[in-house]
Each structure stands twice: as structure tokens, then as C-alpha cells.
């Protein structure tokens, strides 16, 4: 007679590996093989390129003008070793430029650390975001696809395009549970030199187990509208679930010379 597995109903509620048990001094062979398989999937997600042609065709079918850029990281190995090069565009000469605030919102789709995430989720997510921006009366700049790119590259692209708010849709670092998850990084008034504290992030977009496309687009729209109201993004802008909440700028702290030095 077999003993009921105590962990079985709990495993159905999470992708985390819980209650693995033991076989002697080690994990059971089945769990070791599953870990190795998940690690291989994560490595593939990092190293395989995304299907840029298919993505560009799909975006064009949504009526969007699309342009491509590369970072200064010449290949994947350089991209992984030199994060600073992934934050800088090789050139923006073939991307149309415009004065500041010509467009309300810009979208940059970046491969990041999981090109597979773009292949799996980018098109349906952009479709959901586009619907909400249109309904809100917000204008969208030409969409840019970026290869070997990190979030900071968006500051250059958004400033060049002349957008008020830029959203970088990027493949998140794969884990042993999820290898294809998107993160959305919002920066109001993007320009080179912006700090990470000046961005808002909507993470774990990977239905059906993670955040869904419609829910992510709803949060993003609230943040876009909140940033426009506040004139800033980042730590002062919060999503409260109904409308984005803005926190007044703190009063300046006047310190004595002694305390400031300390």
C-alpha cells in the first residue's frame, strides 16, 4: 500500500520545487534530471537569438512602423561580459529622430537575457498595450527592436525618438522555473544618464503561470498616466491597483556641515 504524498497538493500551487525528498544522501534521480533539464532550457533562452523577422512582420500587421537597432556588444559573449556595452546603441542613424515630447509613448523591444521571452510573449503583449494606449488617446512612436540590449539602451532610443514616456519590453533573466518571462520598464522623459531609481517595472509577464497580457497592459497604462500627471517615474510613482498613486517630492533636508560630512 503506497503512502499518500503530503506535498502533492502543494506542488500544484507553485512552480517552486518543494518537498523533493531524498534518496540516500542525495536528491532522487528524477529531481536531479529535472533540474538539469531546466538548467539547459535556461541556458538556451540566454544564448539563442530571437526571431526578429517574425516579430517585425507581426508588429507591421498591427499597423506599427518598426526599426531595428543593435547595442555596442558585437555578440552574445561580449554582451554577457560587458553589460555597459549592452546599454549603448551602436548607431541610431537609421531611426527617425524628433523633438522632445513629439510622441506620448515609445516601445522598445529588447532581447535582454531571454530572447525566447520575446518570441513567446511580445506580440500578444504589444497588441494589448496598443489597444489601451489608443483608447486613452495616447500617440505611439515607431517601435524599435533592439538586439544584445539592456534596459539602459532605451534611454538613448527614447530621447532620440522624442517620446514623453518610454517602455522597454525586455526578456528577464531565466530561472530554473521560468525561462521565458518579460519585464516592462517605464521611464518618463528618457535621456542618457537616467538612474534605475527613475524607472518603474512590471515583471513576470508570462501567462498562464505569470502575469497575463491584459493585466500587465492595465498596470502599464496606469503607470503611464500617473507618470504624465507627476512629470516623473520611479520611486515616487506607485501602482495602487485602481489609479497610479503619486508621492509628493520630499521636503529638502537641511543639514549642518558636520552632519552632511558624516
Binding site for adenosylcob(III)alamin: what residues are annotated?
151, 172, 201
Long-range contacts of 131-135 (CB under 8 A, 24+ apart): 131/217, 132/217, 132/218, 132/220, 132/221, 133/104, 133/105, 133/221, 133/224
Beta bridge partners of 167: 107, 186
User: Of 24, 15, 18, nearest to 6 (Cα)?
Assistant: 18
As a whole number of angstroms, the distance between CA 23 and CA 9 comes to 22
Q: Which residues are annotated as a binding site?
A: 151, 172, 201
Amino acid at each position: 500500500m503506497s503512502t499518500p504524498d503530503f506535498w502533492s497538493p502543494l506542488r500544484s500551487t507553485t512552480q517552486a520545487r518543494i518537498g523533493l525528498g531524498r534518496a540516500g544522501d542525495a536528491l532522487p534521480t528524477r529531481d536531479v534530471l529535472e533540474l538539469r533539464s531546466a538548467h539547459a532550457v535556461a541556458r538556451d533562452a540566454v544564448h539563442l537569438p530571437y526571431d526578429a523577422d517574425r516579430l517585425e512582420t507581426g508588429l507591421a500587421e498591427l499597423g506599427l512602423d518598426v526599426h531595428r537597432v543593435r547595442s555596442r556588444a558585437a555578440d552574445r559573449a561580449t554582451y554577457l561580459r560587458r553589460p555597459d556595452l549592452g546599454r549603448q546603441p551602436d548607431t541610431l542613424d537609421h531611426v527617425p529622430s524628433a523633438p522632445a515630447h513629439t510622441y506620448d509613448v515609445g516601445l522598445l523591444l529588447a532581447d535582454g537575457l531571454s530572447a525566447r521571452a520575446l518570441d513567446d510573449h511580445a506580440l500578444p503583449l504589444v497588441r494589448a498595450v496598443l489597444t489601451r494606449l489608443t483608447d486613452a488617446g495616447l500617440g505611439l512612436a515607431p517601435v524599435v527592436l533592439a538586439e544584445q540590449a539592456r534596459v539602459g539602451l532605451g534611454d538613448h532610443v527614447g530621447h532620440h525618438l522624442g517620446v514623453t514616456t518610454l517602455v522597454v519590453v525586455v526578456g528577464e533573466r531565466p530561472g530554473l522555473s521560468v525561462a521565458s518571462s518579460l519585464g516592462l520598464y517605464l521611464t518618463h522623459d528618457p535621456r542618457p544618464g537616467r538612474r534605475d531609481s527613475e524607472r518603474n517595472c512590471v515583471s513576470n509577464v508570462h501567462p498562464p503561470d505569470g502575469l497575463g497580457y491584459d493585466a500587465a497592459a492595465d498596470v502599464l497604462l496606469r503607470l503611464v498616466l500617473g507618470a504624465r500627471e507627476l512629470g516623473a517615474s520611479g520611486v515616487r510613482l506607485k501602482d495602487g491597483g485602481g489609479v497610479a498613486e503619486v508621492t509628493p517630492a520630499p521636503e529638502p533636508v537641511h543639514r549642518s556641515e558636520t552632519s552632511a560630512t558624516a
